Amino acid sequence: MNVLVVGSGGREHALCWKLNDSARVDRILAAPGNGGTAREARNVAVKDDDIEGLIALAKAEQVGLVVVGPEAPLVLGLADALAEAGIPCFGPSAFAAQLEGSKAFAKNVMRAANVPTADFQVFDDPEAARDYIRRQGAPLVVKADGLAAGKGVVVAKTVDEALAAIDDMMIARSFGAAGARVVVEQALSGEEASFLAFCDGENYALLPSAQDHKAVGEGDTGPNTGGMGAYSPAPVLTDALMEQALDRIVRPTVAEMARRGTPYQGVLYAGLMIEGGQARLVEYNVRFGDPECQVLMLRLGAQALDLLLACAEGRLADARVNWADDHALTVVLAAKGYPGDYAKGSAIRGLDALTEDTAHMVFHAGTAARDGQIVANGGRVLNVTARGATLAEARDRAYGMVDAIDWPEGFCRRDIGWRAL
C-alpha cells in the first residue's frame, strides 16, 4: 500500500518513521515534508493546504491511505474531498474538525455533552465582551475563535490584560478573521496533561498519557510555544484519571458528534487541566499533539498502519494495539529567538554521527536539505527523542544526543520531564 503523510513537522517525520515498520507499506509520500521525512519517504512539493493538489497527488500515486498531520487541511475539508475521491483518510471531516477550528463550536459541544470545562461566553461584539470581562473580573482566558497558528490565546491575569486582548483580536485583528469572534472563559488552575484516543466514529482506543512543556523557559517560565519537549507516560494522569477522562470527556464527545450526524474519526486530543483529583477539559485538538506524537510513536508497536487504516475504515473494534511498557522523552531544539523572531538557514552538524534506532531518534521539525547539509528552516527545528526503562534513563539518553549535535544557533530547555522527575 502507498501512504501519503500530509505536513512538514516533527509529528509528520515521526509518523513516516513509524509507518515504515509495516511490511504492508510499499511507499510513503510526504507533502511537503522536511529534511527528516526525506529519509523515510519521498517528499513532494505540495503544500498541506493545497486541497486540490493533495487529491491529485493521491490519485496519481495510487495512495491507499492519507494520514493528515496538521489541523489546517482538516478544517479546510481535505478528509471530505478524499472521501469523495474514494480514498481513505485518517482525520475528521471539516465539520468535525471544528472541534479545533472553532473554539466556540468546541465549547458548545462540551456544553451539550456535559463535559467538565471552564465556564465561558462567546462574543461577536467587542463591547459586549468588554462588559462581561469587567463584570467577571480576572483571571480570564481570551481565545480567538478560529485557527491562529497556536497563538490566539491570552491568559489574562488582570482585567486590563483581558480588555487589551479583546482590542488586539477583535479590533486590531491581529489574527485576521480568526479573531472576529472570541471565547472568554474562566481560567483553570492545576497541572496540564495530554489525553489522546483513536476514534473510528463509534469505537475508540486510548493512547498512553503524555505531557508537554509549552513554555519556552526552564521551570515552565516565559511565553508559550508550540511545545519545547514532552514525555510519556505522565504520572499526573493516573489510571483513575484516565478512566474519568474517558467516561466524562471522550465518550460523551464521541456520542455527541455522532448524534449531530458527523461521527468523529481520527485521533482526538484532549488537553486536560488536573486539580484535586479531577480532570477538566481545556481544549480539543483534532490531530496528534506535537511533540507528544514523537514520544508516542517511539512507544507504539508495529501496528501504526493497521490502526490508522482501521480508524479510517470504521474497524477499530477489531484492531490490536501494543504499547511498550517503558518511558520516552523528547527535547525540542529550537532556533535562538523562538517563539519570537529567529533566523533560518544555519547548518546543523553532527547528526550523521548519532546512532538512531528504536530507542534513539532525532525527528526533524523545521529543517531542509540544502547543498548536502541539513539546515534550520523553522522555529522548532529538531525533536531529540529517546526511550528508557525509566524516565531518567530516557532523559539522559535524549540529552546525550542533544550534546552531540553541533548547532550554535539553537537552544533547548534542559529540564524536560522535571515535574515527573
- Asked if 362 and 267 count as a contact pair (C-beta separation under 8 A), the reply is no
Distance CA 162, CA 138 (A): 8
- Equal CATH topology for 191-318 and 327-411: no
Per-residue pLDDT tens for 230-276? Answer: 999 999 999 999 999 999 999 999 999 999 999 999 999 999 999 99
**Alpha helical stretches, state H, 36-167:** 37-40, 51-60, 72-75, 78-85, 98-101, 103-112, 126-136, 159-166
Q: Which CATH architecture has domain 191-318?
A: 2-Layer Sandwich (3.30)
Which of 31, 17, 67, 6 has the alpha carbon at shortest distance from 383?
17
Alpha-carbon distance of 144 to 104, in angstroms, equals 9
Determine the average pLDDT of the residues in 402-416.
98
Whether the pLDDT of residue 162 is over 90: the answer is yes
Residues 6+ apart with CB under 8 A from 106: 98, 99, 100, 283, 284
Residue 353 CA neighbour count, 13 Å, CB half: 10
Q: Cell numbers for 310, please give them.
A: 482501521
Note the pLDDT tens digit of each residue in 335-349.
999 999 999 999 999
CATH number of 2-92: 3.40.50.20
Indicate the helix (H) or strand (E) that contains 384. Answer: strand 380-388
Q: In whole angstroms, what is the distance from residue 90 CA to residue 399 CA? A: 33
CATH number (3.30.1490.20, 3.40.190.10, 3.10.180.10, 3.10.400.10) of 119-186 reads 3.30.1490.20
Res. 333 pLDDT band, cuts 50 70 90: very high
Q: Which three cell numbers stand for residue 207?
A: 493512547
Dist CA 278 CA 284 (whole Å): 17
- For the chain, the first-to-last Cα distance in angstroms comes to 42
- The rounded distance, in Å, linking the Cα atoms of 409 and 164 is 34
Of the candidates 306, 266, 265, the residue with the CA atom closest to the CA atom of residue 287: 266
How far apart are alpha carbons 269 and 254 in whole angstroms? Answer: 12
pTM: 0.95
**Location of C-alpha cell 508537554:** 212
Percent of the chain with pLDDT over 90: 96
pLDDT class of 150 with cuts at 50, 70, 90: confident
Rounded CA-CA distance 260/96 in Å is: 10
CB burial readout 195-224, b (16+ within 10 A) else e: bbbbbbbebbbbbbbbbbbbbbeeebeeeb
* CATH code given to domain 327-411: 3.90.600.10
- Does 24 score more than 80 pLDDT? yes
**Among residues 291, 117, 271, 118, which one has the least CA distance to residue 194?**
271
State residue 149's pLDDT score.
Answer: 76
Instruction: Tell me the percentage of the chain whose pLDDT exceeds 70.
Output: 100
The stretch 103-126 carries a mean pLDDT of: 97
Map out the domains of the chain as residue ranges. 2-92, 119-186, 191-318, 327-411
DSSP 184-253: EEEPP-SEEEEEEEEEESS-EEEPPPBEE--EEETTTEEEE-S-SEEEES-TTS-HHHHHHHIIIIIHHH
Average pLDDT of the segment spanning 192-211:
94
Residue 9 CB contacts under 8 Å (≥ 6 apart), including other chains: 34, 69, 70, 290, 365, 366, 378, 380
> d(Cα 152, Cα 119) in Å, to the nearest integer?
19
Q: Output the pLDDT for position 151.
A: 79
The pLDDT-based confidence of 223 (bands split at 50, 70, 90) is confident
Question: At residue 62, what is the residue type?
Answer: Q
Backbone phi, psi, residue 33, to 5°: 75, -175
Cα torsion for 377, 154, 215, 411, to the nearest 10°? Answer: 30
What the block records as the C-alpha cell of 80 is 471530505
- Residue 252: CB atoms within 10 Å: 17
CB atoms within 10 A of CB 142: 26
For residue 200, pLDDT over 90 is answered with yes
**Residue 345 falls in which region: left (phi positive, over 0), alpha (psi -120 to 50) or beta:** left
Residue type (1 letter), 403? D
> Distance between CA 32 and CA 34 in Å, rounded?
7
Banded pLDDT at 148 (limits 50, 70, 90): confident
